[in-house]
Structure 1
Amino acid sequence: MQFKLENGQPAENASVILSMIEKKENRKALLTDQLGIIRIPADGIRYRLYATFMGMESVVDTLIADVKKDTLQYTFRQSITELAEVLVSSRKKLLEVKDDRFIYNVGADSMARSKSLSQVLSNLPFVTVDGAGEVQVAGQTSYRVLMNGKETALFVSSIAQALRSFPAEIVSRIELITSPAARYDAEGITAIINIVTKKFGGYKGFQTLYTSNLTHFSTGLTLTGRTGKLGITLNATSDGTWKPLTEYRTIVTTPLSASVYKERTLNVADAAKRLTNAATMEVNFEMDSLHSVIGYISTDRTSTDNGLQQDVITQLDGGTYDKGYITANGKDRSPGLTAGLDYKQIAKKNPKKEFLFRFNWRGNSNQINTTNVQKYQTFHKWMINQSAARNDEYTFQLDAIPLASDKYTVEAGVKTILRRASADYTSRFTFDKDSNYIKDSANSNRFNYEQQVYAAYGTISAKFGKNSFRIGLRLERTNIKGMFSNLSAAVQEDYLSLIPNFYWSRKTGQNSSVSLAYNLQLLRPYITSLNPFVNNIDSFHISYGNPGLGPQQIHKLVAQLRYNKGNLFFTTTLMGSFSNNQILSYRLFNAATGITAVTFGNAGKEQLISLGGSINYQFSKKFKAGLWGDIRYVDIQNRLQKEQHSYGYSGIVGNFFSWDAGNRFSLSGSGGVDVRNVSLLGRRSPYIFYQINSGYHIIKNKLFATINWNNVHSDYFTLRTHFQDNAVRSETTAKRLYRVIFVGFQYTFGKLREDVGRKKGIVNDDIL
């Protein structure tokens, strides 16, 4: 039998009770599927039917389940009685665990109303958001943000600003997937944040404006609306700094054997001013209940102006000193454009079966111009470096769920990524300011780079009693061809990658479960790591890429224990990973010239083991808090330079709280200590961070003012990095900008109407 609404749309999730007339104690309670259908056996039994749907009159009938009859059709009629401004409170838990994902039910959180996604995202385990809106998952930024299970142009330019300008009010839930399935690219993605929006009619607007004592500013506007089958979302953001911000470093390099100098000290002042503008339009059209299409276009532009001042003191043999300085000024302009199309089709008889097609194009260009002066007692040098680059990426993807039931699901898909990049680097120099500049042929090149990735995957998911399994396999073929004008031969690679994926979970009790996951991550080298162009702003400290880099493989095994009862949520994670061809950045010191060079290679052998945990507790409707962290042991060695071997403990610990102190005032905060992993470029000292955010509703649920206090006890935070091998010792002391105070305003406007609520003025905070 099928249930519909007056407008002909399927009545999804309608409640249906079937009672056997002859056996009054025998009842069946059912929910309709996405097509408004429930299925019962044609057993000739007489039933009394009672069906309800929110905002509609109940349907009552007596029927016989007879095979001779066609599908019974019922229609829910509009209830005559209207209610004004009713809030339907959800009974869902704020945090849940379902198979391979943690779920934060935004719609069930009354404290999330009139806030942005950026302000509520830290409710997820292991997720932190700083005062500038930057998001990390377990201290890492290697995650991907999806919306309703699909990539979106909203998060192409700046994830932080897009999340800051997106209203939490139209979001049903946010999912954190820490073991991505085979359908997702294996390119170094450690987690997926999936934002699931509500189904609504009407429109909603959300405007933000922030500024800081360090001249940061950001503003964003999101307009989203739906009428009938058509939905449109517009988003525009702008963020940057009013004036350059300066950070300081002191670098002391000491050769451990005879060299052209005994010690070299750099005192560096590095200033940068940045501006990013972005705009996105996304159109969603539901052709009918089974077919939908989404089209989007996004444009962005980032401008960065850099200024570098280095005072150089070089201690020579005999106790003499050579004093000099280096200045550099650069302009970086990067405009980009993104466009794409998503098509989705749901099977009529089984809505769990679906077919999806996706096309995406991303194109951007990059113009960099740098002027550089090096003045020492022994020589003077002037340089001009110019770069013009173009990158295009085309993605074609087909995904299908051909088999699906309550017990198992089979997914399959194919994907093609075509990347095209070109660049023209020119370096010119002179030793006499009044003379003509000479082209540095050894450090000027033109290249064309092509990469094709062809992938196919399959996944089987199944549930047996208390156990859930997912087994996936992804096959990728990668073809690379690069032509560099300063290399005699083309760089060519063609390789196959077989990427397995496994996930198992078991419900060990009413409120607890365990899981075990294995996946293989593949990280292809970026073009910046391949390009042999030499960055020689400082002639004694250079860096360049390696055209011979191959892909990096990381094997990862993760075990988790999750417990969720009432207001308490707890999880602990044990993780181990191994890579024998890690792409690492390492140093080479030439004692004869005194030059330190930094380059890349598939030379890393890394072993990592970590133990982490997260605990969240909802003390009341107005106060919640959490604590999370992990401790890691890392052992990493350079297989090309055996003496470069680092190992030791690292980790991160963090906490957060959120308190609605009254009808209008709120207070929240977070903080922690981050000890970064050891690396072959040195070991960094711990970094301490904290923030307090106070907010006030000037107009309830409309205008919200906030002040965000970050690390207020000091203007700068000092970080120290130590490096030593058999050839050289280096000590770096960096002073990072630390105290930041943001003042912001958020304005919400517009009216939403939930599709499942047909009564006037109903707002339902738990739409799935």
Structure 2
Amino acid sequence: MILKVINKFVFAISCVLLSASVFGQQFSITGKIYDQANQPIAYANIVLLKTQDSTFVTGTTSNDFGEYTTNEIASGSYILKASFIGFEDFLQQVSLENDIEFETIVLKEAVESLSEVEIIYKKPTLKKEADRLVFNVENTALIEGTILQVIKSTPGVFILDSGIIIKGSEPTVYINNRKVQLTSDELVQLLESSSANNIKSIEVITNPPARYDAESGVVLNIIMSKNLITGYRGSVFTNYTQGVFPRYNTGTSHFFKNKKVSFNLNYSYTNDKINRNGVNVINYLDNNDAIEEIWKSDINRNIWSETHNLNFNFDYFINDKNTLSLSSSMLYLPYFKNRDSNNTIIIDDNSGFLSRFKANGLSRGNKYNIGFDLDFVHQLKKGQLLLNTHYTTYNYETTQNVFSDFFDQNNAFESASAFNTNANQDTKIFTSKIDYSLPINDTSNLETGVKYSNIKTNSDIAQFDVDINTGNEQINLQNTDAFNYEEKVFAAYSNYGLGTDKWSLSLGLRLEQTNIKGISGTNNIINTQNYLEWFPNASLQYNISDRFNVYTNYKRSIARPDYTYLNPFQFFLNEFAVVVGNPNLTPVFKDRFVIGSTLFKFFTIEAYYQNFDGNISEFPIQNNDTNIISYTPVNLDKTIDFGFDFEVYFNVTKDWSLYFGNSFYNIEEETNFGEGFIKQSQWSNYSALQNNFTFLKDKSLNVNLTVYWAGKNLQGLAISEDRLVSYLSLSKTILEKKGVISLLVSDLFNTQEFRASNRYLNQFNTRTIDADNRYIKLGFRYKFGNTKLKTNEHIKEQEELKRLREKDN
């Protein structure tokens, strides 16, 4: 039955692809671009934009004689834009029904003399649509920093605990619609080391269309500009950070483009030492749920690491309608070390001392995460065909040594124990997809495609008990295992979009067949899951006027269990704390409904409701008999989240833009652990204030101040306390805009400590985490090469012509 459904769906898509290629005519536009002195302008930008929304259709650059040609353009209404730095833009509407030889375009020189022209920075702009927010930063001062700095300035996007947060959850991150296969920490390191020079916009997609994976609840899509300018530019940078310990990173970025190729490369090296403190309090209970013992643990962790990050993108323009691209993100940690110190005091319910122990752990290891994407884009007579293949290889190896001392009621040494653990994980990810987009007419389009993904991971763990007196090791078979996991997903989708002056509509449907198999060798546990699911999405917006619209959207999505969660291993942190996997986890299904309105183009109000079926959370589960606490992922039976969001973004003055967001929401969680039914509910609030300032006459000083308040809320049956997150960043261009110095101050008020507590059934524990997130960072970036990339080619040509004329005279 499943195969029949898939075959019918794929057959329908194939029919669309075949039929689309046989209808519709395409035309060309040719012309010349000159300046007011009747000299040809080489390397000028000529782009064609859609009339209804000014989105990019195609583009080219003029040759040495000022001539340009764009081919294979579908009939329709467009805006032709010609531009060159130092000249005023030329815009003209074009109705294309046949080949056009355009009249010669004469660009007027701007007020500044050509020899002194610099890039003129614009203000960032924000566009709110029914399913997304688009933050346009091209040619703004923000692109002088890193991609992470641009993301920090994006309204509604925050960096919290080394991760990106949007509306309280981590988004799936894409770069030019390519999914980034990195962990949160790895992703932040990548974005922090990558230059923002080529960023066009940041899309915060809260209701992703069907072309995105069904797992993509919220998408952060980083759009790089289609740079049509030839030449080379590069930069070097270095950052010094002072937290509890000093840390630093340094790197370089390079960009090159000519008529046939475009190449961008970023590399960075990071050396870190990070501190983390924590306090855990576990109230172990008797059979009457009265406190019998209180275990208070003071935990300190120091983490050393060296990281190499390399990412690149290479485009080869085969001809006007075919482009081949190769991109990669590589992360390599040749060295990392964790040193854990745990001092636990055990008292009775009257605070009487019972005993204590201390456990010291040392972990060493290395890992790499290397991914490649190969893309082929073909412009059809009508529409576009994209073929993508992705491959990631991930490897992680670690060794752990734990030594514990135990003291009796008189605080006298009683005994000692030690164990060693070796753990390894090797993961391979392969995906391949075909996407086809078809512009039906000037106002509507169709997207359809298929995708296959395969994930294989092999893990093993071996624990050895150590004889304190002799140092001999003996394998602990109970805590030794091997786990092999494979996940296959077959997907097909179709999405229809409509955009007019009054209405915008997006309707999509995605079908995904998932096959999972996990095998635990030692325990002989086999976990198989096979399911076929449909994931519809819909967005509708009605523009009542230029200043007022209403919209609604719906999406169903999935969150599959992390394959490390499905791993049944027991990884002991010390004798009384263990991380345990759960091979019985099932996927989470989420339904989200939104209705909202935008007023005066800058104020948005939304009401939302979302239901999670089987939401996964990692719980600290205390065993009151063995005094062992296990950190275990569990499916909750039901989670409901509903509330109201208010957002405003506007320019207070020409040099000050402000974003304010406020959300009031309620979370309800309920489940049955087999020992009783649990239901908890909590109203909460989060508020965010982002300010971007530009100072000085030349706009060379930029300041960002962000404050984020997270009120008491419910997460995995735990109550998390209030937190205030804050950071201040400054950047100043120097050395004739070739250099940028920056300063970042994080956690201005020392209020980012995380505190959470569990109190239900026979569970009674709290934990506090003080991460190393209060720091000062100083940075410097220097640009070299063709730093005035958009003007130098023209200047060079004019100077060469001048020298020839002087020689002739």
Normalised by the shorter chain, which TM-score bucket? 0.7 to 0.9
Per-residue Cα deviation, 1:513-562 (whole angstroms, up to 9, x for no partner): 22211111111111211111112223333231111212111111122322
Measure, in 2, the Cα distance between the counterparts of 1:232 and 1:570.
40
2:365 pairs with 328, 332, 345, which one?
Answer: 332
The code of the aligned residue for 2:222 comes to: N
Measure, in 1, the Cα distance between the counterparts of 2:241 and 2:580.
36
Measure, in 1, the Cα distance between the counterparts of 2:438 and 2:288.
69
Per-residue Cα deviation, 1:545-601 (whole angstroms, up to 9, x for no partner): 111212111111122322354xxx222222211122122323444333233333223
The match for 1:116 is 146
Measure, in 2, the Cα distance between the counterparts of 1:388 and 1:415.
30
Per-residue Cα deviation, 1:318-345 (whole angstroms, up to 9, x for no partner): 9561222111111131112222200111
Offset of 1:316 from its aligned partner?
Answer: 6.0
Contact conserved, 1:546 with 1:600, CA < 8 A, in 2? yes
State whether structure 2 residue 135 is matched by structure 1 residue 135. no
* Alignment CA distance shift 1:499-1:666 (3 Å): closer
Offset of 1:360 from its aligned partner?
Answer: 0.7
1:156-555 to structure 2, matched below 5 A, reads 158-199=186-227, 200-214=229-243, 215-241=246-272, 243-257=273-287, 262-302=293-333, 303-315=335-347, 321-348=354-381, 350=382, 353-377=383-407, 379-402=415-438, 404-430=440-466, 432-434=468-470, 436-463=472-499, 466-555=502-591
Measure, in 2, the Cα distance between the counterparts of 1:408 and 1:750.
43
Which stretch shows the higher mean deviation, 218-227 or 665-674?
665-674
The code of the aligned residue for 1:742 comes to: K
Offset of 1:362 from its aligned partner?
Answer: 0.1
Offset of 1:718 from its aligned partner?
Answer: 4.3
1:727 pairs with 755, 762, 786, which one?
Answer: 762
Measure, in 1, the Cα distance between the counterparts of 2:128 and 2:543.
11
Measure, in 2, the Cα distance between the counterparts of 1:360 and 1:134.
24
1:695-734 to structure 2, matched below 5 A, reads 695-714=731-750, 718-734=753-769
Offset of 1:453 from its aligned partner?
Answer: 0.8
The code of the aligned residue for 1:668 comes to: N
Measure, in 2, the Cα distance between the counterparts of 1:15 and 1:141.
33
The code of the aligned residue for 1:364 comes to: Y
* Alignment CA distance shift 1:89-1:316 (3 Å): closer
Per-residue Cα deviation, 1:587-637 (whole angstroms, up to 9, x for no partner): 444333233333223233100012122212213332222212322210111
Offset of 1:401 from its aligned partner?
Answer: 1.7
Measure, in 2, the Cα distance between the counterparts of 1:38 and 1:493.
47
Offset of 1:74 from its aligned partner?
Answer: 4.8
Secondary structure, in 3 states, of the residue corresponding to 1:125?
A: coil
2:774 pairs with 725, 733, 739, which one?
Answer: 739
Contact conserved, 2:704 with 2:728, CA < 8 A, in 1? yes
Offset of 1:392 from its aligned partner?
Answer: 0.2
The match for 1:608 is 641
State whether structure 2 residue 687 is matched by structure 1 residue 658. no
Offset of 1:228 from its aligned partner?
Answer: 0.8
Contact conserved, 1:125 with 1:614, CA < 8 A, in 2? no
The match for 2:707 is 671
Offset of 1:77 from its aligned partner?
Answer: 7.7
Offset of 1:712 from its aligned partner?
Answer: 4.1
Contact conserved, 1:153 with 1:280, CA < 8 A, in 2? no
Per-residue Cα deviation, 1:190-247 (whole angstroms, up to 9, x for no partner): 1222323142221222332111222122223221120112101111122241x45242
The match for 1:3 is 29
The match for 2:128 is 97
Secondary structure, in 3 states, of the residue corresponding to 2:511?
A: strand
Secondary structure, in 3 states, of the residue corresponding to 2:626?
A: coil
Contact conserved, 2:449 with 2:492, CA < 8 A, in 1? yes
The match for 1:749 is 784
Per-residue Cα deviation, 1:54-98 (whole angstroms, up to 9, x for no partner): 469999xxxxx9x9xx84545758989995455686988712234
The code of the aligned residue for 1:439 comes to: I
The code of the aligned residue for 2:390 comes to: N
Measure, in 2, the Cα distance between the counterparts of 1:440 and 1:518.
51
The code of the aligned residue for 1:203 comes to: Y
* Alignment CA distance shift 1:3-1:756 (3 Å): farther
The match for 1:572 is 605
Over aligned residues, Cα RMSD in angstroms?
3.7
The code of the aligned residue for 1:438 comes to: Q
Which stretch shows the higher mean deviation, 644-653 or 85-94?
85-94
Secondary structure, in 3 states, of the residue corresponding to 1:441?
A: strand
* Alignment CA distance shift 1:626-1:547 (3 Å): same
Secondary structure, in 3 states, of the residue corresponding to 2:138?
A: helix
The match for 1:45 is none
Measure, in 1, the Cα distance between the counterparts of 2:504 and 2:406.
68
Measure, in 1, the Cα distance between the counterparts of 2:374 and 2:259.
20
Measure, in 1, the Cα distance between the counterparts of 2:670 and 2:617.
10
1:692 pairs with 720, 728, 745, which one?
Answer: 728
* Alignment CA distance shift 1:282-1:311 (3 Å): same
Measure, in 2, the Cα distance between the counterparts of 1:545 and 1:155.
19
* Alignment CA distance shift 1:412-1:9 (3 Å): farther
Secondary structure, in 3 states, of the residue corresponding to 1:287?
A: strand
State whether structure 2 residue 623 is matched by structure 1 residue 596. no
The code of the aligned residue for 2:668 comes to: D
Offset of 1:159 from its aligned partner?
Answer: 3.0
Measure, in 2, the Cα distance between the counterparts of 1:218 and 1:85.
34
The match for 1:627 is 660
* Alignment CA distance shift 1:373-1:219 (3 Å): same
Secondary structure, in 3 states, of the residue corresponding to 1:161?
A: helix
The code of the aligned residue for 1:622 comes to: D
Which stretch shows the higher mean deviation, 528-537 or 485-494?
485-494
Measure, in 1, the Cα distance between the counterparts of 2:367 and 2:672.
37
Contact conserved, 1:137 with 1:191, CA < 8 A, in 2? no
Secondary structure, in 3 states, of the residue corresponding to 2:478?
A: helix
Offset of 1:414 from its aligned partner?
Answer: 0.6
Secondary structure, in 3 states, of the residue corresponding to 1:440?
A: strand
Contact conserved, 2:656 with 2:694, CA < 8 A, in 1? yes
* Alignment CA distance shift 1:205-1:490 (3 Å): same
- Give TM-score, length-normalised by structure 2: 0.81
**Higher relative contact order structure (alpha carbons within 8 Å, sequence separation ≥ 6):** 1
The code of the aligned residue for 2:295 comes to: R
* Alignment CA distance shift 1:316-1:51 (3 Å): closer
Secondary structure, in 3 states, of the residue corresponding to 2:636?
A: strand
Contact conserved, 2:276 with 2:769, CA < 8 A, in 1? no
Which stretch shows the higher mean deviation, 389-398 or 532-541?
532-541
Secondary structure, in 3 states, of the residue corresponding to 1:515?
A: strand
* Alignment CA distance shift 1:239-1:589 (3 Å): same
Contact conserved, 1:717 with 1:737, CA < 8 A, in 2? no
Offset of 1:720 from its aligned partner?
Answer: 2.9
Per-residue Cα deviation, 1:410-449 (whole angstroms, up to 9, x for no partner): 1111111111111121011145442532211111011211
Contact conserved, 2:604 with 2:646, CA < 8 A, in 1? yes
